[in-house]
Chains A and B, each alone.
Chain A
Amino acid sequence: MSLPKVHEIPIGGIITEPGSSRRNLTGGWRSLKPIIHDDRCIRCRICWMYCPEGTIKETKGEFVVKGRKYQYKYEIDYNYCKGCGICAHECPTKAIEMVPEA
């Protein structure tokens, strides 16, 4: 990412257009990374509910895992996940594992 030069920044560091926090990718703060083991996931949605940053993405579709059919799939948006581990802590089937960032 290239930063604007000093004279291109609005005076006083004001933000003139909404939505700039989306461009601020906070995933770099993470030291532990949650990995969802899809075969153990029972689609209870508890991680989706508990994630304080809303980084659990729910996708609708037809998903077959080990012969079982599901209508949903859960993935993590690593651009914004800060690795707090709340999802792994709350998961009733221990389907989310926290692994150290490489």
Chain B
Amino acid sequence: MTAAAAIQKAKAALALTSNYAVAYAVKAADVDVVAVYPITPQTTIVEKIAEFVDDGELNADLIHVESEHSAMSAVVGAAAAGARVFTATSSQGLELMHEVLHIASGLRLPVVMAVPARAISAPISIHGDYSDVMNTRDTGWITYIASSAQEVYDTVIQAYKVAETALLPVMVSYDGFLMSHTTEPVELNDEEAVRRFLPRRERPNVLRPEKPITMGAFAMPDWYYEIKYQVQEALASSLKTIEEVDAEYGKAFGRSYGIIQTTGWRTQTTP
């Protein structure tokens, strides 16, 4: 690497917490609607996004809601109207929005959410474990767990492509505090290139006055079963989409991660 190239690379990298990395990724993804409600350790994500919106760097509607249940409901509504959406939460907040998580996946809305994982009360704790994320396992969401601020940044951008391709909501999770509040160098992508990577696409389940549809209608068990089976099939086939998007991202931006990252497993022996 030449000195000039090294300086250029250093300029493109910022010292960011994983929470700020999420905010920068959301800005690059040109998100339309963000529902915000504070909870530790998530709060600094939406604080940073609010700053971007206030500075005019991100042209998004920032909705201040009264609970996490409302936050997820607001982004479900906005996604149903065709918007690219974002919200974030942790721990008790994720529990409070739990019923709406099923609605997002059942309606096949490409909601993207960041979850710095945090332990669940009681006893009350603000520190990182994955008991909140584990409770969402059967909600029909795709869940990423990222292991560095750089991976968080890259994964949030990939998450939009995966969500909009598979028509499923995607959660990007990482360690609360251990990552959400510690600083690492993060290389940021050119935002124009990210927008080329995430083109706006038509999807079938969007509310439009000129072509009315009903969303969230009642279904008797015979229909309910089929519609839930669709979600199950979409989840199973999203594995391929996740790999393809990761490979495409690697081609465009030089970083990719695969489905599972391992460390030292080849040297382990079974006792």
In this complex, how many residues of chain B approach chain A with their Cβ under 8 Å: the count is: 21
Residues of B within 8 A of A14 (CB): 107, 204-205, 213-215, 217
Residues of B within 8 A of A4 (CB): 226
The answer on a CB contact under 8 Å between B108 and A11 is yes
Complex formed: what's the CA distance from A6 to B222 in Å?
11
Complex formed: what's the CA distance from A16 to B217 in Å?
11
Q: Name the residue of chain A whose CB is nearest to the CB of B225.
A: A6
Mask for A4-26, Cβ within 8 A of B = 1, else 0?
Answer: 11110111111110101000000
Does B230 make an interface contact (CB < 8 A)?
Answer: yes
Does A102 make an interface contact (CB < 8 A)?
Answer: no
In this complex, how many residues of chain A approach chain B with their Cβ under 8 Å: the count is: 15
The answer on a CB contact under 8 Å between B204 and A13 is no
Q: Name the residue of chain B whose CB is nearest to the CB of A13.
A: B227
The answer on a CB contact under 8 Å between B223 and A3 is yes
The answer on a CB contact under 8 Å between B229 and A13 is no
Residues of B in contact with A (beta carbons under 8 Å apart): 106-109, 167, 204-205, 212-217, 219, 222-223, 226-227, 229-230, 233
Which 6 A-B pairs give the minimum distances between C-beta atoms?
Answer: A12-B108, A15-B214, A13-B227, A12-B205, A12-B107, A6-B226
A-B contact pairs, 29 of them (CB 8 A): A3-B226, A4-B226, A5-B226, A6-B226, A6-B230, A9-B223, A9-B226, A9-B227, A10-B204, A10-B205, A11-B167, A11-B204, A11-B205, A12-B106, A12-B205, A12-B227, A13-B107, A13-B217, A13-B219, A13-B223, A13-B227, A14-B205, A14-B215, A15-B213, A16-B213, A18-B212, A18-B214, A20-B214, A20-B217
